[in-house]
Structure formats: structure tokens, C-alpha cells
Structure 1
Amino acid sequence: MPAKPYSVSRNIHSKEDEDLSADVLRLQHLLLAMGRRRSLRDPIAATCEQLQFTAPQVHALLWLGQDGALTMGELARRLGVTEKTVTGLVDRLEREGHLVRERTAEDRRVVRCRLTADGLQTYQRLERFVMQGMGQLLHILDAGDRKALFRILEKLLRRMDTLGAAAATPSRERSA
């Protein structure tokens, strides 16, 4: 059975909704407790300081290194910022030689950002820091717990994909 989307604005509260609300609070509490014990951004934060980047610049470099050239809109969505904000961020990274803007031949209005050779080197360095940080975090768990963590995250991703596909389907098709 697919998971129902969570909504805090429901008027009718079932036992399942109350359990979910309690679970949301528990997850928040656990994530905050983890953050108090050890910053979950340690590898990225340390890298920002060393390389004199802001966190959004580091995340932009990581996304571009991971996924290749992205449009300004795609990059803004990945970073969770507006397109206006991503323009300033891209301006700085371009000025420092880490990326270039390219227009597509099919539609000259579309601007893609691509890492330069310097940007790729910076990405590789950032990726090593991130991998070391994830390794330190996963080292805390035994193999069975890591396997369980991966299984849960994979299930969450599958269900998010299912919910996303259902939301993208026009209502007439869903009701047919």
C-alpha cells in the first residue's frame, strides 16, 4: 500500500495521523540531537572555510560535479534558492574560474552551467572531503545497521518517486 502524503492541516485526526505526528516530532528530536553531538555538515563546513567558499557555492560545485551541466533553474532547485540568488552565486564561481555558462543551440534562452578544469579539480577535492565525512559517520554503525539504513532510505526514495509520479498524473487519468 503506498504511503499517504502527510498533511498537518487535516480536520479529521485518526490514530494513524497522531502516530505520524508523534513520529515527525521524534525524527526532528533525533536529527537535532545528532546535530548537537556532531555537525552533520562537518566535511562541507570545514571545506568551505579552507577553500573560502560559501556553503551554497560548495553545494553548487558538488551538484555540477555529480550531475554535469545544469540549467540555472535546475541548479536553483537543487540548492533550494531562487533563480535570482543562483545568478549571483554562479557569477562568483564563474569569475573565480570554477564554471562557465553555455547557451544551448536548440534554445538560446537556456543557459547551462558547466565546471571548468579548475572547477572539476575543486569538485574532486570536495568529493574526497564528503566521502571521508560519510565514512566517519557510517563507521559508527555496524554492517547490519548500515544495511538497514540503506534499505529504509531506498524504500523512502521509491515511495517518493511513486508519490511524485502520482502527483504529476492529471486527475482525470488517476480517476479512470
Structure 2
Amino acid sequence: MSRTIHPKEDEDISADVLKLQQLLLALGRRRSLRDPIASTCEQLQFTPPQVHALLWLGQDGSLTMGELARRLGVTEKTVTGLVDRLEREGHLLRERSASDRRVVRCRLTPEGLQTYQKLERFMVQGMGQLLNILDAGDRKALFRILEKLLRRMDTLPAAAAAPGTRERSA
């Protein structure tokens, strides 16, 4: 069930958006929001989208070009160039679907899997350093809020989840 957001709620949300933006900017000024990925990108000579592609493919297995583009937040044209480079460097392979030749899936090669495992170790180490700043109660609260956000996002109709909509789930 959805309901219309009232002007007062709209003002509250606007104030909360501003507060979240300010907090994320302050966090970014103290520590790169791409940490621990940023240093890994430089060290391994990957762009951040290439690192994210390797992480998604390592995490979820083979993905179509369209799925990968959506996960990275780029166009299919952009993902093609990114995949070209990763394929040329031996990190992934493209495979055409036997049932529909138009569908191209990407999967990690053994070298790509090794790179993913290295990236995953960096990520776990970096997340551990960040979470270590919080006490156990704050970590539990953070996890509870993120889990609630995910549950509620799963119940939103696609149109309501898009920016600029006037309704939300109750």
C-alpha cells in the first residue's frame, strides 16, 4: 500500500536529505568514500568501474552485459569498452547464450578470479578498519537500519523507487 507524501513530510525528507548529504560529504573529507577500493585501483592499475565489475562478477558469477551495466550504473556502450579491456587483459571472458545468440554473458577467468580474491581481501580489511571505529551496539544499529532499508526498497514499486516520485510505501 502506498500513500501520498504530505507537504510537512516533504519538508522533513528535504531536511533529512540535506543532513545525509552533509554527513556523507564530511565522511568523504575525512576518508575517501572509495576506500579501500581507491588504493587498490591505483596499485592494480584498474579504474574504479573495472574494480566494481570484477567484484560483481566474483560475487554473483556470470552476468549479462546489461546486468553488469546496471550494477555499475553505466550505459551498455560504456560497459562494452570496460569489458573489452578486462577481456584483453585476461580477467574475463564473454560467452554467447546458446539459446539466444544476442545475449552475451561475462564471467571471470582463473586470473580474474585471483584478482577478485585479492580485491575481496582488501575490501574486507578496509571494512573491518571502518567498522572498528564503531562499538558493537552502533554496528548492530547500522546493520538494523541497512536491513530495514533493503526490506522497504524490496516492497516499493519500481516507479516509487525512482527519484522525484510523490508516493512511498507506508
> Does TM, normalized by the shorter one, top 0.5?
yes
Q: In structure 2, which of residues 20, 25, 28 is the aligned counterpart of residue 32 of structure 1? A: 25
Select 1:44's aligned residue among 27, 31, 37.
Answer: 37
Larger Rg: 1
> Greater RCO between the two (CA within 8 Å, min separation 6)?
2
Q: 2:85 aligns with which of 75, 92, 96?
A: 92
Contact 1:3–1:159 (8 Å) recurs in 2:
no
Cα offset, 1:164, TM superposition: 3.5
Aligned residues: CA RMSD = 1.9
In structure 1, runs of 5+ residues without a counterpart are: 7-12, 169-176
Identity of aligned residues (%): 86
Equivalent in 115, 119, 122 of residue 129 of structure 1: 122
SS of residue matched to 2:36: helix
Aligned partners of 1:50 and 1:118: how far apart in 2? Answer: 17
CA shift in 2, pair 1:148/1:84, >3 Å: same
SS of match in other structure, 1:153? helix
Change (3 A) 1:111 1:5: farther
- Point out where structure 2 has 5 or more consecutive residues left out of the alignment: 162-170
Residues 145-173 of structure 1: CA distance to partner in whole angstroms, max 9, x if unpaired? 000000000000000000046869xxxxx
Task: Please tell me whether residue 151 in structure 1 is matched to residue 148 in structure 2.
Answer: no
Q: Are residues 1:66 and 2:59 paired?
A: yes
Q: Deviations over 1:103-148 (max 9, x none)?
A: 1111111000000000000000000001111111100000000000
**TM-score, length basis structure 1:** 0.87
